[in-house]
Amino acid sequence: MSRIRFTGQASTLQSLTQAIDRSSGIRIREEGGVGSEFDLSINGMSGNSIRYFLDGMPLDAKGTGMTLANLPVNIIERVEIYKGVIPVSFGSDALGGAVNIVTNRSRRNYLDFSYGIGSFHTHKADFSAQYTGKKTGLIFKPVISANYSKNDYLMRDVKVRNEEHTAFVIKDLPRFHDDYLSLFGQMEVGVADRSWADAFFVSASVSKVDKDIQTGATQDRVIGMAERHTQSLNVSARYEKVDFLTDGMQFQVSASHTMDHSQTIDTTYRRYYWDGSYIDGSYSEIRSRGKTLRHYHRPLTVVRSNLSYRLAEGHELALNYVFNRAGNRQTDDWDTDFVPTDDVLAKHIAGLVLRPVAALRPPEQRVLREGLRQPSDDRSERASFDYGRECRPGLRHEELCGIWPRNALSLLRPAGRQGLLRAQRPAADFARTAGQRFHGLSQRGAQTGDQ
C-alpha cells in the first residue's frame, strides 16, 4: 500500500489526479483539459479493475459526476493506494487495486479557503471549515467547491473551409464548446468522544456537473451543441466506537443513499468545423442517428459495517459486511425507438479475516488511547504507529495503519524543531517502548507547557 499525505500541501496541488500520478506504479492519462475523461492504471491494470473510495465508502456515493479530478483537495488528509489485493473491509471486487481518499478528521476548529486562476479561463475555488459548539459540543463541517474552465487551448493543424467555402485549409484555432462546470456542497454535523460513541456524524451533499461534449479520440469530428448534465443528492451517516460492548472490540458502520440524475442532450443535426461554422446534416452529432435526450436515474444505497475484536496478543478477528444496491433507469424524450429500462443490482458481501497486529499490553494500550484522545494543536507532539494491512480508525488524532510486519514507530515533531524521527524496533518491544515514550512526552508537556 502507498500513502500520499496532503496535510500542509493543499494550497500547492492543483488537483488530486496530479498528486496521485506522482506515485510509483500509477499512471493517469487524460483525454483533454479540465473535466475530461481520464484513465488511471495501477501496475498496468485499469478501468473496472480499479475502485475508488472516500473514507471507505464508494466514491460514486457522492454522485456519478464526482471524480478524483473535481473532489475538493483541502478536505483530504491522505490518499491510500492499494496495488493488487485490497482489504476485505472495502467489500469490493477490485482486481487491480483501489484508491481510498481519507478526509481530514481533526478535532480543532479551522477555516480554509483557496482560489486559483489558470490558463484557458480556468477558475478553482474551495472552502472548508469546522466549528465545535462550546455548550452543545456539536461539530459542524461545511464544504463548498467550484471548478470552471473553457478549455479553449489551441488546436493545431485542423481543417476548416476557406472563405469561399470551396476548399479546406489548415489552421491553428482555439478549441470551442468544451466548457466544464463542477459544483459541490456538503454539510456534516455530529459529535465526538462521547460515552456512547467515539464519532457519530450525519451529512448531506449536493453536486452538479455541466460538461460540453467535444471531439473524442480524433480531432476530425467536431461537436458543437451536445451536452451532458449531472445532478446528485446524497445523505449519509457514520458511527464509530472503540471498546464496543467490551474491551478490545471496535465497531464501525456507515450508511449512504444517493439520488443521481444525468442527461445527455444530442438533438442537433449539424456538422461543425473548428472555426465554429457548420452545415446542416441529417443525423445527430454523437450517435450519428436520430435526436436523443437520454435520462439516466441511478439511485445508490450503500451500507458498510465492520466489527473487530482482539482475540489474543498479536491477532485480531474482523467481520465485515457491505450491502450495495444500484439502480439504472433510462428514458428518452426524443428517440421513439428506445426501450426504457429499469434495472436493479443488489449485492451482499461478507468477509471474515484473522490478521496479525502489533501487540499492545492493556496498560500501554490505555495510555496510547487516552493520550491520543486529548485535544491537540499544531505544537503538540503526536505519535503514529504502523501495523497491519489496512488503516483502522479509532485513535483520534493519528491513524493506525501500514503493512505488516514493518512495525515502525514514527514521532512527528513540528517543522523546525527536530524534523521527522523514525526508529525501527522489533515487534516484541515495539508497543512497550511506544507507550513509555508517549507517556513521557505527556508528562514533560504538562510540566513545561511547551509540548
- The string of pLDDT tens digits covering residues 110-124 is 999 989 898 899 999
Q: What is the mean pLDDT of the chain?
A: 78
Question: For the ranges 7-21, 331-345, 379-393, 433-447, which has the lowest average pLDDT?
Answer: 379-393
CATH 3.40.190.10 fits 2-356, yes or no: no
For residue 22, the SS3 value is coil
User: Cα torsion at 184, 190, 191, 196 (round to 10°)?
Assistant: -130
- pTM: predicted TM-score of the whole model, two decimal places: 0.75
- Alpha-carbon Rg of the chain, whole angstroms? 25
The domain locations on the chain are 2-356, 362-448
Dump pLDDT digits (tens) for 225-257. 999 999 999 999 999 999 998 888 999 999 999
Residue 5: predicted pLDDT: 64
Residue 299: cis peptide before it, omega within 30 degrees of 0: no
- Cα 186 versus chain centre, distance: 14
Using CA atoms, how far apart are residues 175 and 163, in angstroms rounded to an integer? 20
Query: Is residue 436 within a helix (H) or strand (E), and if so which, with residue range?
Result: helix 427-448
Sign of CA dihedral 322, 372, 2, 68: positive
Average the pLDDT over each of 164-173, 273-282, 355-364, 367-376 and give the range with the smallest value: 367-376
> To the nearest 10°, the Cα dihedral for 83, 21, 44, 96?
30
CA 21 to chain centre: 15
Length, in residues, of the chain: 451
Confidence grade of residue 88 (pLDDT, cut at 50, 70, 90): confident
Of the candidates 448, 439, 440, the residue with the CA atom closest to the CA atom of residue 379: 448
Using pLDDT thresholds of 50, 70 and 90, give the confidence band for residue 216.
low
User: Which H helix or E strand runs over 364?
Assistant: helix 362-372
